[in-house]
């Protein structure tokens, strides 16, 4: 069984004003959570109005779901004790006043010096799916084969329509914010692990990035774990949606690994068309169709069905087909996360929006 794990980033808001508040240290202390080998399951992020929850390594979707629910409840409880409210939004509904405080760690302070205004506006939150891979060479090959599917994930998972109190018109404004960093967006194609290392080392040597953690591609070979890390998704409103996408991403990686083992030809994926498709997905989400790697406009339903058809053998092999199809039906019946945010704000105001985006399900 191919292993997987999920990292989720949350915003911390004032319960009255809904503005971001720098209380991450207080929430982490109140949670008291420890992970495997003493590592914390709730971690600091770049800005003190954010934090990250990381599941242990899992083998099944039911196991993953249990950890996500447990962590979301722990974050919610700890935040209440610290006097704030966590939300699972890709961007804050409101922000204003002084720039958000940076977590006082050496690396984050270096990022602040490098990024300047970009760091002030880095109040964005994603969901990162780590999928176990056997070795680095296979990981790079699988990364190449994942690239054409990243815009579909962006379109489905867009959960950041609001910025500074206004609707951006985008399903995933987080994708736009991240796209301003020097190494971001869909990854390029690599001619094997040596090429990957040579080109990423060149970026590091040129001083364009501080370290390889700043390879902000939407998918990358992890430098810390034996995994392929897919980072294209905004943080999701519900644990069920997070499990859905984790299952799809694992199946995408498993499919890419199988194709790599069998030496199947890679579908052409021109970088300029992939970048355009990614922008279109961030802008419109599941509305106005999607653009594929050949430049063809596809209906959103057709693109999602193509994705499922592509990964169904891997879902079957993992025993995930029934659960992923159930979660997908639920997801589509609710509407996309960005649409859900807009509907909540239009019908119930800011209080309804923050209630919708609370990461903790009811006990």
Contacts of 206 (CB under 8 A, 6+ apart): none
pLDDT greater than 50 at residue 26: yes
- Low-confidence winner among 222-226, 316-320, 338-342 (lowest mean pLDDT): 222-226
Residue 8 near residue 256, CB atoms below 8 Å: no
Query: Which residue ranges make up each domain of the chain?
Result: 4-356
> What pLDDT score was predicted for residue 363?
59
Express each pLDDT in 41-86 by its tens digit. 999 999 999 999 999 999 999 999 999 999 999 999 999 999 999 9
- At residue 264 the predicted structure's pLDDT band, cuts being 50, 70 and 90, is very high
pLDDT greater than 60 at residue 35: no
> What pLDDT score was predicted for residue 34?
52
**CA dist 217 to 168, 180, 289, Å?**
23, 12, 24
**CA dist 288 to 277, 281, 282, 301, Å?**
12, 9, 12, 11
Mean pLDDT on 270-298:
93
**CA dist 278 to 128, 145, 217, 247, Å?**
17, 16, 12, 21
Contacts of 82 (CB under 8 A, 6+ apart): 23, 26, 27, 29, 30
As a whole-number percent, the residues of the chain with pLDDT over 70 amount to 98
What is the rounded distance in angstroms from the CA atom of residue 110 to the CA atom of residue 5?
A: 28
- At residue 38 the predicted structure's pLDDT band, cuts being 50, 70 and 90, is very low
> What pLDDT score was predicted for residue 36?
41
User: Helix axis angle, 321-334 relative to 239-262, nearest 10°?
Assistant: 130
pLDDT greater than 50 at residue 187: yes
As a whole-number percent, the residues of the chain with pLDDT over 90 amount to 91
> What pLDDT score was predicted for residue 267?
84
DSSP assignment of 1-67 equals: ---EEEEEEEEEE-TTT--B---HHHHHHHH----GGG--SEEE-SBTTEEEEEPPPBSSHHHHHHH
- At residue 292 the predicted structure's pLDDT band, cuts being 50, 70 and 90, is confident
pLDDT greater than 70 at residue 225: yes
pLDDT greater than 90 at residue 268: no
> What pLDDT score was predicted for residue 361?
67
- At residue 328 the predicted structure's pLDDT band, cuts being 50, 70 and 90, is very high
Contacts of 20 (CB under 8 A, 6+ apart): 11, 12, 13, 14, 47, 49, 92, 95, 100, 123
Rg of the chain over CA atoms, in angstroms? 19
> What pLDDT score was predicted for residue 200?
97
> What pLDDT score was predicted for residue 348?
96
pLDDT greater than 90 at residue 97: no
- What is the overall mean pLDDT for the chain? 94
pLDDT greater than 70 at residue 172: yes
> What pLDDT score was predicted for residue 140?
97
Beta-ladder partners of 315:
none
Residue 354 near residue 13, CB atoms below 8 Å: yes
> What pLDDT score was predicted for residue 33?
72
Express each pLDDT in 126-136 by its tens digit. 999 999 999 99
pLDDT greater than 60 at residue 362: no
Q: Which CATH architecture has domain 4-356?
A: 2-Layer Sandwich (3.30)
Express each pLDDT in 133-162 by its tens digit. 999 999 999 999 999 999 999 999 999 999
Report long-range pairs for 186-190 (Cβ below 8 Å, ≥24 apart).
Answer: 186/147, 186/150, 186/151, 186/217, 186/218, 186/219, 186/271, 186/274, 186/275, 186/278, 187/143, 187/147, 187/217, 187/218, 187/219, 187/220, 188/271, 189/144, 189/147, 189/269, 189/271, 190/140, 190/143, 190/144
Beta-ladder partners of 6:
129
- At residue 96 the predicted structure's pLDDT band, cuts being 50, 70 and 90, is confident
Between strands 4-13 and 85-87, the pairing is antiparallel
């Amino acid at each position: 069984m191919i292993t997987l794990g999920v990292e989720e980033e949350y915003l911390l808001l004032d319960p009255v004003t809904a503005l971001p508040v720098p209380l991450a240290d207080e929430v982490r202390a109140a949670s008291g959570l420890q992970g495997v080998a003493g590592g914390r399951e709730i971690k600091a992020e770049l800005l003190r109005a954010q934090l990250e929850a990381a599941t242990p390594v899992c083998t099944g979707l039911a196991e993953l779901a249990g950890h996500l629910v447990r962590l979301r409840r722990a974050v919610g409880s700890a935040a209440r004790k610290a006097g704030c409210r966590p939300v699972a939004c890709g961007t804050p509904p409101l922000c204003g006043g002084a720039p958000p405080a940076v977590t006082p760690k050496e690396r984050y302070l270096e990022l602040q010096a490098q990024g300047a205004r970009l760091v002030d506006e880095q109040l964005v939150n994603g969901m990162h799916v780590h999928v176990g891979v056997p070795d680095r060479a296979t990981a790079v090959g699988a990364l190449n084969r994942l690239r054409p599917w990243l815009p579909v994930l962006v379109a489905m998972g867009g959960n950041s329509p609001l910025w500074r109190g206004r609707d951006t018109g985008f399903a995933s404004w987080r994708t736009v914010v991240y796209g301003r960093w020097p190494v971001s967006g869909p990854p390029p194609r690599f001619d094997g692990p040596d090429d990957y290392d040579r080109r990423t080392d060149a970026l590091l040597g040129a001083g364009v990035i501080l370290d390889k953690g700043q390879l902000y591609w939407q998918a990358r070979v992890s430098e810390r774990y034996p995994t392929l890390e897919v980072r294209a998704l905004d943080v999701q409103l519900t644990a069920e949606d997070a499990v859905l996408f984790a299952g799809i991403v694992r199946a995408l990686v498993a499919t890419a690994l199988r194709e790599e083992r069998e030496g199947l030809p890679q579908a052409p994926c021109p970088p300029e068309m992939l970048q355009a498709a990614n922008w279109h997905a961030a802008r419109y989400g599941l509305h106005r169709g999607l653009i594929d790697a050949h430049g063809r406009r596809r209906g959103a339903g057709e693109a999602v069905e193509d994705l499922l058809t592509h990964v169904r053998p891997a879902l079957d092999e993992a025993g995930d087909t029934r659960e992923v199809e159930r979660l997908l039906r639920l997801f589509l019946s609710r509407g996309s996360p960005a649409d859900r945010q807009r509907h909540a704000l239009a019908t119930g105001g800011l209080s309804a929006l923050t209630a919708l985006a609370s990461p903790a399900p009811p006990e």
